Amino acid sequence: MAKDRRRHSKITSILPAELVEAINRRLVAGDTYQQITEFINKAGHDVSMSSVGRYGKDFLSRLERLRIVKEQAKAIVTDTKDGPATELAEASNQLALQKIMEYLMKVDTLDGSKATEVFKALALLQRANVQVEKLKLDYNRGIDAASEKIKAALKEELAREPELIARLSDMVDAVAEEVRQK
């Protein structure tokens, strides 16, 4: 496996942060490298078009990867309806696990420190998954407890009208089931 090379871009190393942000916005807007180079030079900085091109290629590549991850997370969240706002956490965990597995499939062997990092990351993901499942279980128990309290209060208040109690109880059950489905 080739070692990862750290990139030292002239854009990020010598230009002020505000100018780098403006460059990023121009890249996203679709400006050409020539237009961006002219913009930088007019701002008083001497940067070549090839530097802008290298930076732009790397920036747009990272932007595309982020866009893909965002779409995957959105798809997972849309597909999952488990209760209390756990979708984003589950989506994040699934994406992180996918990325770890992709990394492991690319690597022939791991040195000790990298293997330790990977296993720590897997352990953190597992712990997060357990916490999400516990939250969902507690959420469902809370729905059941609230449903039972409402039914008990209704029974007490409407003890003289059993038909109405049965209908209201059915309505509460339907609402509880509807909440679980969301």
What span, in angstroms and rounded, lies between the C-alpha atoms of 94 and 126?
10
pLDDT of residue 85: 57
What span, in angstroms and rounded, lies between the C-alpha atoms of 109 and 105?
10
Residue boundaries of the structural domains of the chain: 12-79, 82-182
Q: 23 or 59, which is more confident?
A: 23
Q: Does residue 2 register a pLDDT over 60?
A: no
- pLDDT level of residue 35 (50, 70, 90 thresholds): very high
Q: Does residue 108 register a pLDDT over 60?
A: no
pLDDT of residue 154: 66
pLDDT of residue 3: 47
Q: Which of 42, 50, 61 is nearest to 11 (CA)?
A: 50
Comparing 50-64, 76-90, 115-129, the range with the smallest average pLDDT is: 76-90
Per residue in 70-88, pLDDT (tens digit) is 676 666 656 655 555 566 6
Q: Where are the beta strands (DSSP E) in the chain?
A: none
Q: Does residue 99 register a pLDDT over 80?
A: no
